[in-house]
Amino acid sequence: MRAASGYPLMPEWLYWRAQATPGRLALIAGGRRLSFAELAAEADRMARRLAALGLEPGDRLATLLPNGLEAAVVPHAVSRLGLVLVPLNVRLAPSELAWQLADCGARWLLAAPGTLDLARGALEELAGCRLVTTEPLEPGVPSLVELPEAKAPLRREVDLGQVHTIVYTSGTTGRPKGALLTYGNHWWSALGSAMNLGALPSDCWLVCLPLFHVGGLSILFRSVISGFAALVHERFDPVAVNQAIDAEGVTLLSVVSTMLQRMLEARGERAYPSTLRCVLLGGGPAPRPLLETCARLGLPVAQTYGLTETASQVATLAPEDALRKLGSAGRPLYPNRVRIVTEEGEEARPGEVGEILVRGPIVTPGYLNRPEATAAAVRDGWLRTGDLGYLDEEGYLYVVDRREDLVVSGGENVYPAEVEAALLAHPAVAEAVVVGVPDPEWGQRVVAAVRLVAGATVSAGELHAWCRQRLAGYKVPKEIRIVAELPRNATGKLLRRAVRGWWEPGA
Amino acid sequence: MRAASGYPLMPEWLYWRAQATPGRLALIAGGRRLSFAELAAEADRMARRLAALGLEPGDRLATLLPNGLEAAVVPHAVSRLGLVLVPLNVRLAPSELAWQLADCGARWLLAAPGTLDLARGALEELAGCRLVTTEPLEPGVPSLVELPEAKAPLRREVDLGQVHTIVYTSGTTGRPKGALLTYGNHWWSALGSAMNLGALPSDCWLVCLPLFHVGGLSILFRSVISGFAALVHERFDPVAVNQAIDAEGVTLLSVVSTMLQRMLEARGERAYPSTLRCVLLGGGPAPRPLLETCARLGLPVAQTYGLTETASQVATLAPEDALRKLGSAGRPLYPNRVRIVTEEGEEARPGEVGEILVRGPIVTPGYLNRPEATAAAVRDGWLRTGDLGYLDEEGYLYVVDRREDLVVSGGENVYPAEVEAALLAHPAVAEAVVVGVPDPEWGQRVVAAVRLVAGATVSAGELHAWCRQRLAGYKVPKEIRIVAELPRNATGKLLRRAVRGWWEPGA
């Protein structure tokens, strides 16, 4: 029962679940309703078709899929075949995707009708990675529907120490890093969630977050491990979400603040049904007025703090503490631990703000091809999140701010360093500062200030177009100011706060 | 994070739970309602008082407790201090208890007002084991209430490989064996149950099985691991159980067939509320008419097959399969496996009856002081249960009969060999055969046939009294026939079936 890695071998989750509760509802996606037996059959078929491409255990399969049936099945097909899934963000620019595809060494990129052009763009100058589509789209490009089912051996067991997923996360260095997530990371994440929020055979968890982020992906693992249904929406539509809660038996829901805000706006003051037992609210500290509105409407919000590097939830406020600990992200999920360390490297006292550190089986073993970044992030088993927060007297976590330089816009993380690098690549730009400023709809929006090279001329509009070529839309600064001088302190250090103040007087 | 045993160290369950959801209802017992924080405080206090007796990590603490607050707290106190719990059956005779106390080397026996005389009787001729009571009962006998709280270090982590409990189970050899149950056995048992039946923060599991059997004890672990309440009844009273389901929010319930039968009789045809989401039915194959009555009344019965050696459930029928697979005990709980082996030692085909074998992290590491019995029971990781059953085409387990010689009376296991040994100890008895015969109330009842030593005279009444001295009441034969000759086949082998036929014509 022990694998080569020293971790125990365990029955593959969907394979097991399809035998344990074959007839139970598993997935609603792409207009279809699948039982666990049907979902397992879909996953097996997809695994055998991927095998027909020559994909073998350990190979990396990149996907560029909007939410839908294929995006919900492929994580299980990957488990059955022993591949490593690299779910790419469909909002990235072709050059960003090309970089990630090259970094992970993917041999195949799976695209859908809606992402075909983007995939083509990403693969244009990339040797060694080929295109496969979900359905027949172009002659000469294989499609899953048409591929034969190879007689590949499918796995009945998984090794908790093996990597299942590589999820790219941007970083302060300007280049995204591929966080490795093992079967064990996903297993413990699902277990910790069930031990906190509970799980029932009759539960139905609505997925309106992208399945290429851990916030969405992790719901699929919870579904097969605990044995309840996942309802996948193709995109976030507040009216459709409200409708699913009212009429389709949704009991759990994962959202970020801006989504919740829009749901409430679309609905007015009409109460939600009591069948909705938990709204898991992630993506950064929630505005207090929003939490108070939810409390007033009786909406059971469980605020959570999670990271790509921890396969989603680190800490989540248990439903019954929603009012007593309003604004807290709760306590760490079993059996993980959270510490706060001050700037001086000392253990913070209760109430004292410092960096949030996480330890436990949800923590990534590291970043692909980044031994130094891994060593810097995970020391003695403790993940340094870079985020700021404190623990109260009872050990409840309050996240004060994501790491100082991080911008969270509509639930997507934007690292200023990456946007600054794109601006600096323009020959006319001498210096660039990117910051996030408060935005009523998206939480924060990205803005930039640049100083030009002496004698150069370029308009803000031209720089905007330049960025659009190189960056995902949500990373492109909504406003770019061209200034004569950037604010610095006496020692010459750039004052980001002062830049932010240009948009946010009084901050 | 790895312990000396090679198993991971994990946060002690109640310690963790009390921090994660301190205010949530944990336990209703002995007229008190305790939150998880209060339950943890009770367990800590009890642990420190036990430490004041000189009990140290690894020491065995025997308990002789009826269901109640102390019996529900002591398993957690034992975890916090690192003791090993030996919960003794309060229905045993003093000589049976004395044997088990000596076998496990317990230094202290914890008794309650209702079991004081029994405990005194057991300890009468036993050196090295001392009496402690839950409350002050006699001068010179320490009581938990009066003991000081020692400054003992309490454990915050548990080692899944360490033994938490020793539960005595009778066997064919006539002497009970102490099955060792580790933290890992209990952990995986609770997890497998939650992954099958679900678990909600608002659940309330009624405990009307004895807490000295795994069927009752395991509910306490599920409660702290999944974070829901346990409601402990002091004894099984069908009217009180019905009342608790109607008015006290009971959502889950563990019973054996005779208990369920009596609940239905006490209730008539009145429907149960839909808040009762699962009746876990164990203790041997259930009569089909009972299952059909429950199906008709809409009572959500989940038939289960469990053993002391597996920390309770091995396989349980998922609620939605109750009708489709009526009479089945379902599929094994994650991640355990079940096989059926024929008398010839071969893998049985679907539908073919053979011995049930179980493998997985719920299986006991073995019996205390019984290397040979352990080696015979667990081979290559597979536990030989001795029970007979088959798997259908879909892998659902049907238990045909408990091991041929086992009598299950009102959910208690009686091994004929043990009762025969007691009869044979009487000087007038030359031969004895004990069998179980169908009983409308208790499932089976114990009866005996004996042949006397030539020339000896003794009445059935005298033999009955003799047994009462030596055996728990439920093991004492309800009828004893004195016969001239016991039935044997041509080779001289005793024909148990023929003896059974005397009580059960046509069997």
| Distance from the B61 Cα atom to the nearest Cα atom in chain A, whole angstroms | 28
Asked which of A104, A136, A159 is the last residue of a domain, the reply is: A159
| Arithmetic mean of pLDDT over chain B | 92
Last residue of a domain, one of A105, A129, A159: A159
Average pLDDT on A40-45 reads 98
Q: For residue B2, what pLDDT band results from cuts at 50, 70 and 90?
A: low
Does residue B21 fall inside a structural domain?
no
> Confidence band (pLDDT; 50, 70, 90) for B174?
low
Model pLDDT, residue A341: 96
A66-80, A482-496, B297-311: range with lowest mean pLDDT: A482-496
Q: How many domains does chain B have?
A: 1
Asked, for residue A387, whether it belongs to a domain, the answer is: no
Please check whether residue A323 lies inside any domain of the structure. no
Q: Determine the Cα–Cα distance for residues A136 and A143; give it in Å rounded to an integer.
A: 5
Q: Is the pLDDT of residue A173 over 60?
A: no
Higher pLDDT, B363 or B440: B363
**Residue A183 domain-assigned (yes or no):** no
Read off the tokens for A124.
């244009």
Which of A436, A439, A393 lies closest to A415, judged by CA?
A436
Instruction: Report whether pLDDT(B298) > 60.
Output: yes
B19 contacts in chain A (CB < 8 Å): 331, 394-395
Please give the share of chain B, as a percent, with pLDDT higher than 90: 71
Q: How far apart are CA A267 and CA A281, in angstroms?
A: 18
B77 to chain A, minimum CA–CA distance in Å? Answer: 20
Q: What is the CA radius of gyration of chain A?
A: 23
The ipTM is 0.86
Q: Residue A424 — very low, low, confident or very high, per pLDDT cuts 50/70/90?
A: confident
Least confident span in A113-122, A149-158, A393-402 = A393-402
Check CB contact of A30 with chain B, cutoff 8 Å: no
Residue B66 has pLDDT above 80, yes or no: yes
Helices (H), B359-495: 371-377, 416-424, 460-470
What confidence score (pLDDT) does residue A417 get? 77
Asked whether the beta carbons of residue B201 and residue A320 sit closer than 8 angstroms, the reply is: yes
Q: Do B334 and A20 touch (CB under 8 A)?
A: yes
Q: Is the pLDDT of residue B4 over 60?
A: no
Give a yes or no: residue A41 inside a domain.
Answer: yes
- B288 pLDDT tier (thresholds 50, 70, 90): confident
Confidence bin at A404 (pLDDT 50/70/90): low
Q: Average pLDDT, stretch B322-343?
A: 92
State how beta strands A397-401 and A407-409 pair: unpaired
The pLDDT value given to residue B6: 62
Joined tokens for residue A59: 């190979």
Confidence at residue A487, expressed as pLDDT on a 0 to 100 scale: 85
In this model, does residue A496 exceed pLDDT 90?
A: no
In a domain, A235, yes or no: no
pLDDT band at B446 (very low <50, low <70, confident <90, very high): very high
Which chain B residue shows the shortest CA-CA distance from A319?
B201
- Residue A242's contacts (CB-CB under 8 Å, 6 or more residues apart) are A263, A266, A267
B350 close contact with A: CB closer than 8 A = no
Packed helices A69-81 and A214-226: angle between N→C axes, nearest 10 degrees: 70
Average pLDDT of the residues of chain A: 92
Chain B residues closer than 8 Å to A331 by CB: 19-20
Q: How confident is the model at residue B320, as a pLDDT?
A: 81
Per-residue pLDDT tens digits for A300-355 = 999 999 999 999 999 999 878 887 888 899 999 999 999 999 988 999 999 998 99
- In chain B, % of residues over pLDDT 70: 95
Is it the case that residue B362 has pLDDT exceeding 70? Answer: yes
- Mention every residue, 6+ apart, whose C-beta is less than 8 A from residue B117: none
Confidence check: pLDDT of B507 > 70: no
Q: How far is CA A229 from CA A29, A30, A40, A400, B280, in A?
A: 11, 14, 13, 34, 23
CB neighbour class for A486 (10 Å; exposed up to 12, middle 13-18, buried from 19): middle
Domain boundary, last residue among A115, A139, A159: A159
Nearest chain A residue to B223 by CA distance is A195
Q: Is residue B459 part of a domain?
A: yes
User: Does residue B180 register a pLDDT over 70?
Assistant: yes
Angstrom distance (rounded) from CA A194 to CA A299: 20
Instruction: List the CATH number of the domain containing A44.
Output: 3.40.50.12780
User: A238 lies in a domain?
Assistant: no
DSSP one-letter string for B295-317:
HHHT--EEEEEEEGGGTEEEEE-
Residue A200: which of B198, B318, B361 has the nearest Cβ?
Answer: B198
Residue A447 belongs to domain with CATH number? 3.30.300.30
Alpha-carbon distance of B282 to B307, in angstroms, equals 10
Residue A1: is its pLDDT beyond 60?
A: no
**pLDDT for residue A32:** 97
pLDDT of residue A490: 67
Give the residue numbers spanning the domain of B421: 407-503
Mean pLDDT value across residues A400-405: 69
- Spatial separation of the C-alpha atoms in residues A123 and A102, rounded to whole Å: 10
Q: Of the ranges A271-285, A332-346, B257-271, B399-413, which one carries the lowest mean pLDDT score?
A: B399-413
Of the candidates A227, A318, A320, which has its C-beta nearest B195's C-beta?
Answer: A227
Q: What is the mean pLDDT of residues A288-295?
A: 85
A 284-343: CB under 8 A from B:
318-321, 324, 331, 334-335
